[in-house]
Chains A and B, each alone.
Chain A
């Protein structure tokens, strides 16, 4: 009976550990996705500001 309880506790602890790893991995992936999405570059907004004369171009 005692052994069975011990075994059951062990299984529960391992399951909790697996859930912990899964949740942290998912959170880390979300953080990574957010970081790289923020640093996306490519399309031009087109506004140019110069010291002596400011040229404002519409987005293209």
Chain B
């Protein structure tokens, strides 16, 4: 402790130094508790239902979200996965059984909270039966390979979507587990270019060149990661990573490059190169801010207090995603609303509110709500603390 400091400031400084540690430990404990809860409580209702959609099943083996059914001779009888989608009045949660040839052998409606009238229309028209015998490589899109139900289009779309999601899980996880083709295309090339550009940005001494590169990165990120691919970094990515829902690397190189690159560079270089260089939603906010000449508004004291809100919101969302093993549901960011133009009423409200605020102050979502920024700050904080402790130990005199 510095003896020249007034006595009154000492306890406050110690308190301020300890607070981030206490906050981090508490957040880590909550997330760990949620992970354990989710680990102990997931999948329980689905496994015993597999014999319903794959008759003759004697044994069921769970591998993540995919269930493999074996017959009495211990031969693979098929695969099953559950998925849900929302119709007009609520979700429809289905278990889909698929034989080794990729044909749908059985479907069970595990739970549905659809508006009764609409759901009754599906039952009357034998809509779900129409999927039986179809192969999983079909798109399951209304109007293409699936006939729509007049008067219950949203309900029919939800059933098709749930079956499509379940089929995709099985397709990528069980039917083609060994040799999916390695997909390396425009998204991966664009991502590599964005990483390379972000790493070279600090080397530019010339302010004008640096500005040009900064805007080139932002606009490329906004166009490619946002409007073309709609695959920005979200809280759901981190939740999937922690929950162990890792996609096959061969056809999801982009996922690994984005997460691995951003986290890896944060740990190795101590820099968050994503948020202010090529985050597509950040780019949209910055464009709006530039149009109205907005400046960041970070009032001293108040900013520090307000930062607590997004931190604990991110912890809550991540904990819920892990506890219920629903990483996708944890993502409350309005990224998808903007880049795919589809969402419910409240995501639209949040988006409009944030975009309007972007005209007044620079990047309001980044500073006051974004969970990705919170997680990156946490990773950098832990990294810097570990490095500090390591250096202190290295410099400590030998006893």
Which residues of A are interface residues toward B (Cβ below 8 A)?
10, 13-14, 17-18, 20-21, 23-25, 27-32, 34-36, 38-51, 54
- Asked whether, in the complex, the Cβ of A43 is within 8 Å of the Cβ of B53, the reply is no
The residues of B that contact A49 with a CB separation of less than 8 Å are: 106-108, 128-129, 132
The residues of B that contact A50 with a CB separation of less than 8 Å are: 53, 55, 105-106, 132
Minimum Cβ distance to chain B for residue A32 (Å): 5
The residues of A that contact B313 with a CB separation of less than 8 Å are: 25, 28-29
- Asked whether, in the complex, the Cβ of B104 is within 8 Å of the Cβ of A18, the reply is no
- Known contacts being A35-B329, A45-B109, is A27 close to B349, with CB within 8 Å? yes
- Interface membership of B382, Cβ < 8 A: no
The residues of A that contact B357 with a CB separation of less than 8 Å are: 20
- Asked whether, in the complex, the Cβ of A10 is within 8 Å of the Cβ of B329, the reply is no
- Asked whether, in the complex, the Cβ of A31 is within 8 Å of the Cβ of B111, the reply is no
- Asked whether, in the complex, the Cβ of B45 is within 8 Å of the Cβ of A41, the reply is yes
- Known contacts being A32-B316, A42-B45, A43-B111, is A24 close to B353, with CB within 8 Å? yes
- Asked whether, in the complex, the Cβ of A14 is within 8 Å of the Cβ of B332, the reply is no
Give the residue name and chain of the B residue nearest to A50 (CB): B106
Find residues 92-120 in chain B having any chain A CB closer than 8 Å to their own CB.
93, 103-112
Apart from the given pairs A20-B368, A28-B350, 4 other A-B contacts in the complex at a CB distance below 8 Å: A17-B299, A39-B326, A50-B132, A54-B129
Find residues 46-73 in chain B having any chain A CB closer than 8 Å to their own CB.
46, 49, 52-53, 55
- Interface membership of B246, Cβ < 8 A: no
> Chain A contact residues: over half helix, strand or loop, or mixed?
helix
The residues of B that contact A38 with a CB separation of less than 8 Å are: 84, 86, 90-91, 329
Which residues of B are interface residues toward A (Cβ below 8 A)?
45-46, 49, 52-53, 55, 82, 84, 86, 90-91, 93, 103-112, 123, 128-129, 132-133, 297, 299, 302, 306, 309-310, 313, 316-317, 320, 324, 326, 328-332, 344, 346-347, 349-350, 353-354, 357, 361, 364-365, 368-369
The residues of B that contact A23 with a CB separation of less than 8 Å are: 353
Minimum Cβ distance to chain A for residue B186 (Å): 30
- Asked whether, in the complex, the Cβ of B111 is within 8 Å of the Cβ of A18, the reply is no
Kindly list the 3 A-B residue pairs having the minimum CB-CB distance in the complex, ordered from nearest: A35-B329, A47-B109, A27-B350
- Asked whether, in the complex, the Cβ of B350 is within 8 Å of the Cβ of A14, the reply is no
- Known contacts being A17-B297, A17-B302, A27-B346, is A42 close to B111, with CB within 8 Å? yes
The residues of B that contact A34 with a CB separation of less than 8 Å are: 344, 346
| A28 in complex: contacting residue of B49, B326, B369, CB < 8 Å | B369
- Asked whether, in the complex, the Cβ of B350 is within 8 Å of the Cβ of A24, the reply is yes
| B299 in complex: contacting residue of A10, A30, A46, CB < 8 Å | A10
- Asked whether, in the complex, the Cβ of A51 is within 8 Å of the Cβ of B104, the reply is yes
- Known contacts being A48-B106, A54-B129, is A36 close to B324, with CB within 8 Å? yes
**With the chains together, A10 CA to B298 CA distance in Å?**
12
Indicate the member of A42, A46, A48 with the most B CB atoms within 10 Å: A48
The residues of B that contact A46 with a CB separation of less than 8 Å are: 108-109
The residues of A that contact B106 with a CB separation of less than 8 Å are: 48-51
The residues of A that contact B111 with a CB separation of less than 8 Å are: 40-45
**With the chains together, A30 CA to B123 CA distance in Å?**
32
| B110 in complex: contacting residue of A21, A32, A45, CB < 8 Å | A45
The residues of B that contact A18 with a CB separation of less than 8 Å are: 302, 306
The residues of B that contact A21 with a CB separation of less than 8 Å are: 306, 309, 368-369
Q: Can you name 28 A-B residue pairings with CB atoms under 8 Å?
A: A14-B302, A17-B299, A17-B302, A17-B361, A21-B306, A23-B353, A24-B369, A27-B349, A28-B317, A28-B332, A31-B344, A31-B346, A31-B350, A32-B317, A35-B326, A36-B320, A39-B84, A39-B326, A40-B91, A43-B111, A44-B45, A44-B110, A46-B108, A48-B108, A49-B106, A49-B108, A49-B129, A50-B132
Give the residue name and chain of the B residue nearest to A10 (CB): B299
| B329 in complex: contacting residue of A17, A30, A36, A42, CB < 8 Å | A36
Minimum Cβ distance to chain B for residue A41 (Å): 5
The residues of B that contact A36 with a CB separation of less than 8 Å are: 320, 324, 326, 329
Minimum Cβ distance to chain A for residue B245 (Å): 14
**With the chains together, A38 CA to B86 CA distance in Å?**
7
- Asked whether, in the complex, the Cβ of B93 is within 8 Å of the Cβ of A41, the reply is yes
